Amino acid sequence: MTSRMPAIILLGPPGAGKGTQAKKLEDRFGLVQLSTGDLLRDAVARQSDAGKAAQAVMEAGELVGDDIVIAILNERISAPDCLAGVILDGFPRTTLQAEALDALLRERGDRVDCAISLEVDDEAMIDRISGRYTCDRCGEGYHERYKRPLKDGACDKCGCQKFRRRADDNADTVRRRLVAYHAETADLVEHYDEMGVLAHVDAMQDIDSVQGLLRDLVQPLVTEALGTREAMDVSA
C-alpha cells in the first residue's frame, strides 16, 4: 500500500476563486492550503527580509522574484503538517517555479497529482476582486454580494467586527496582475497538460457548485496518493 503526499495545484487568474476553494478543500480533506500570496503578505507584515523585498512589487501588481517565492514555498512545504497533502494556491506562477516544484517533489518521491485550471472571464474577476474583503482577525474571506457574513457586520468564524481589504485590490493593480497572469502564468496550463495531470473546471458557477466539481476531482487523488481508501472516505 502506497503513501505519498498528495499535491494538487489550483491555477487561475486573480479572483478566479483559488483561495476560496483551497480553503474549503483544506477543511474537507485535511489537506494544507499553501498560498504564496498569504505567505508573502505575512512576510510583509513581519517586515522580514523577503517581505521588505516583496512589498513594493506586490503593491505594483507584479510578480515577486522566483528565488524569494521558491525559498518561501520550499520552507513551508517541508513542515511536517504538509505530509497530509497540499493544495497549492498561487504557486507556481512561472515556468521556473513549476520546474522547481517538480524537482522538489521528485526529491521526496512525490509528484503533482493534478493541476486544476479554474476558468473565469475577465469581467467576473474584476467583479469578484472589487467586492472582496476579509476578517481582520482570522482572515476568513467574504464578498459584498456572493459571500456575505450570516450576521451583518460580524465574521461567521470568529465574531470579529473588523474587516479589511487587500492593498493590491484596487482597479489599477488588478489590471497589472491580470497582465502578469497572461504574460507569465497562463502558459503553465500547457506545462501540466504535457505532464498529463491537467483538469479544467468552469469557475463561473457559484462557490458551492465549483466546490462540488473540485471535490469530485480531488477525492480519488487523495485516496490514491495516501493509499488508505477507508481512512480518506470523506464523501458522506
Of 17-25, 153-161, 191-199, 222-230, the segment contacting ligand AP5 by CB under 6 A is: 17-25
Q: Which three cell numbers stand for residue 40?
A: 508573502
Tell me which amino acid residue 8 is. Answer: I
Catalytically annotated residues: 18, 93, 132, 165, 177
Pairwise CA distance, residues 32 & 73, whole Å: 13
DSSP H helical segments within the chain, as ranges?
18-29, 36-46, 49-59, 66-77, 95-107, 122-130, 171-180, 188-195, 207-226
Over the window 186 to 205, marking each residue x when it contacts ligand AP5 by CB under 6 A and - when it does not, the resulting string is -----------------x--
Q: Does position 51 bind ligand AP5 by CB under 6 A?
A: no
Answer whether 108's CB lies under 8 Å from 5's CB: yes
In this structure, the strands spanning 114-119 and 141-143 are unpaired
Decide: is 19 part of the binding site for ligand AP5 (CB under 6 A): yes
Cβ atoms of residues 16 and 22 within 8 Å: no
Give the one residue of 6, 7, 8, 20 binding ligand AP5; rule: CB under 6 A. 20
User: What residue is closest to ligand AP5 based on CB?
Assistant: 37
Q: Which of residues 110-139 bind ligand AP5 (CB under 6 A)?
A: 128-129, 131-132
* Residues lying near ligand AP5 in the complex (CB under 6 A): 12, 14-20, 36-37, 40, 57-58, 61-64, 69, 90-91, 93, 97, 128-129, 131-132, 141, 143, 146-147, 168, 177, 203, 206-207, 210
